[in-house]
Amino acid sequence: MVTTSYRTAASLLAILISFGAPLAAAAAPPASTPQMGTFPIEAHIVPFEPESTICGFPITATYTGQGTFQVLFDEAGNPDRMHVHVKTRGTVSANGVTLSARASGNQMIDFDAQTVVEVGLAFSYYAPGTGVVLMDRGRLVWSVDPDTGDVLWPPIFEAGPHPQLHGDVGGLCEALTP
């Protein structure tokens, strides 16, 4: 889902599911007309966790970007599905070393099935002259708790490399160590 990480993506999805769907339902257009919009993304995370804990030193993440969403409705005008696209750029830094970061991902939320499908580049950290030091991409399918909107662990389906998901951020730790 993003330069952020799965926990931030899960928070964003919980917010969209918890607040976006009821608001969309309150102002639901006819079933054939989706509701669409955009939202800015800006964050400065200190410390960037769990990476800081795993690496053993404080890591800072800063990023900006934009998200778009589209809510689709059933025949009764109730939210049925939502598509969210997030694109960000930023930096991850520690110990005087700064890496570039980027992400471009899609989340498809199915309210009836109570699932979230994430597809795309969750994040990529890279350094000039070195290239990519850690990248997470592919497809993940998650169950969603119907009462809280929280994304539940573990994923139902996983395809592609997802090192951060499994706590493997060694490439990031190494790149941020002078």
| Position 130 pLDDT exceeds 90 | no
Domain hosting residue 65, numbered range: 6-175
pLDDT tens column, 45-78: 999 999 999 999 999 999 999 999 999 999 888 9
| pLDDT over 70 (residue 22) | no
Going by C-alpha positions, the residue among 113, 138, 135, 116 that lies closest to residue 125 is 135
In a domain, 153, yes or no: yes
Nearest to 136 by CA among 11, 13, 6: 6
* Count of the separate structural domains present in the chain: 1
Q: Hey, what are 140's tokens?
A: 């993940």
> Is residue 45 a part of any domain in this protein?
yes
Assess if residue 1 is contained within a domain. no
In a domain, 81, yes or no: yes
Q: Read off the pLDDT of residues 101-113 as tens digits, 9 standing for 90 and up.
A: 999 999 999 999 9
Identify the band that residue 167 occupies on the pLDDT scale cut at 50, 70 and 90: confident
